[in-house]
A and B are shown apart, each in its own frame.
Chain A
């Protein structure tokens, strides 16, 4: 082996110059690599990451505020929409009442009009029927009497009076029957 003598005692703690210089050189290189190259890069990444995280937190807060704002807007809009719907419903109810009432009066009027017209038609038809009936009955009675009484009763004036009296009786009879 290539062993030299180790120093004794205190000389262990006293370094030869060449050893010190080489050690200082090595430590200098390490200091540059660690302190000037490695650590600054580490700190830079650390700061960037912190900035990104802070930025992210800030963005999240902003988004949250935005959402809250939109939500409160939505709430207000919903409330106003609800109110509007209620008022529309009330209006519609009122309108419906009015429409129903109007329709009712219209229907009642129409019904009255129709029944009146019907009544009038019935009345006029009855009158016409009465007139026609009277003429027919008169004619039939005249013919009957002519045949029964014959030539004696050719005097038309007398015949007319007889007929009228007969019809009056008939009417009285009919009126009594109706009254009964």
Chain B
């Protein structure tokens, strides 16, 4: 076994060098050289291309699912209805009243399908990278979610009552507000969008590292390893298959969590006491 670890160490050590050895994944892959520029401010690189491909793919799928909606659905429409129905029943109606769920369904569904489409590119062959590893999309969506739940809270309670309800929790002794109010402000108005952003982004980066590490190890071990190491390559190949499945699950889970939390925040803001 020590020979295996020696080889691995040697491979890792040579990863900076040109040619052979393993190139272990790094954040650099999320910041590739642009292959298209407009002026000196707009750059279009591989990650942007992946984002556009995911967007176009999602639009096409939505169009295919919804173009001929009928009372008795065909196969495409059934799938489409199943997906939107999942967001409707399991995410929106789980967190808010049926009327609000209907009103916010377009928004929550946009978050769910948007995040899912942009996540899933992380496991698609040849793309192998989720553009949600960059901060832009998660941040924009988190800001939208923040605006949505604050707006709903102000709409339901009025600005004063909404802020009072959130910043000065009822039932606490007055002097506690010195402690509670900053904490509540931080957790409700700052940490909610920040955690939404970082959770999604970090998951996508981690998933990319995980998959890339296994792919790189597999190809290195199978191509350059000798004897027993080729066998180990088969093990890492099996593991990468499992992690692909796992990453598909994570892509869906993160979309679900983002959409679910957004609708929970909106639902909480709309609750009357």
Where the two chains meet, the residues of A that have a C-beta atom closer than 8 Å to any C-beta of B are 1-7, 12-24, 26-27, 29-31, 33-46, 48-49, 52
A-B contact count (CB 8 A): 135
Beyond A6-B27, A27-B141, A34-B62, whether A15 also contacts B135 by CB under 8 A is yes
Beyond A26-B137, A27-B141, A30-B55, whether A38 also contacts B80 by CB under 8 A is yes
Instruction: Using CB atoms, name the residue of chain A closest to B56.
Output: A29
The answer to the question of B217 belonging to the interface, with a C-beta cut-off of 8 Å to chain A, is no
CB atoms of B69 and A45 under 8 A apart: yes
CB atoms of A24 and B140 under 8 A apart: yes
Nearest 3 interchain pairs by C-beta:
A35-B106, A6-B27, A23-B136
The answer to the question of B65 belonging to the interface, with a C-beta cut-off of 8 Å to chain A, is yes
Partner of B28, one of A3, A14, A17, A48: A3
CA distance A18 to B51 in the complex (A): 13
B46-68 CB contacts (< 8 Å) to partner A: 46, 48, 51-52, 54-55, 58-59, 62-63, 65-66
CB atoms of A7 and B134 under 8 A apart: no
Partner of A3, one of B29, B51, B52, B105: B29
B108-116, B167-175, B207-215, B235-243: which lies at the interface:
B108-116
The answer to the question of B184 belonging to the interface, with a C-beta cut-off of 8 Å to chain A, is no
CB atoms of B134 and A36 under 8 A apart: no
B131 contacts across to A, CB distance below 8 A = 23
CB atoms of A14 and B66 under 8 A apart: no
Query: How many of chain B's residues have a CB under 8 angstroms from any CB in A?
Result: 56
A18 CB to nearest chain B CB (Å): 4
CA distance A22 to B140 in the complex (A): 11
Beyond A22-B48, A23-B140, A34-B109, whether A42 also contacts B135 by CB under 8 A is no
Beyond A44-B69, A45-B69, whether A27 also contacts B137 by CB under 8 A is yes
A19 contacts across to B, CB distance below 8 A = 48, 134, 136
A20 contacts across to B, CB distance below 8 A = 136, 139-140
CB atoms of A30 and B30 under 8 A apart: no
CB atoms of A14 and B110 under 8 A apart: no
The answer to the question of B33 belonging to the interface, with a C-beta cut-off of 8 Å to chain A, is yes
The answer to the question of B252 belonging to the interface, with a C-beta cut-off of 8 Å to chain A, is no
CB atoms of B135 and A49 under 8 A apart: no
> What 0/1 readout, one digit per residue, does chain B (114-125) give for beta carbons within 8 Å of chain A?
100110000000
Task: Please name 18 further chain A to chain B contacts, defined as beta carbons within 8 Å, in addition to the given A4-B32, A13-B197, A46-B85, sorted by A numbering.
Answer: A3-B28, A3-B31, A6-B28, A6-B30, A13-B135, A16-B43, A19-B134, A26-B118, A27-B140, A30-B113, A30-B114, A33-B63, A36-B106, A38-B80, A42-B80, A44-B69, A45-B73, A49-B71
B105 contacts across to A, CB distance below 8 A = 39, 43
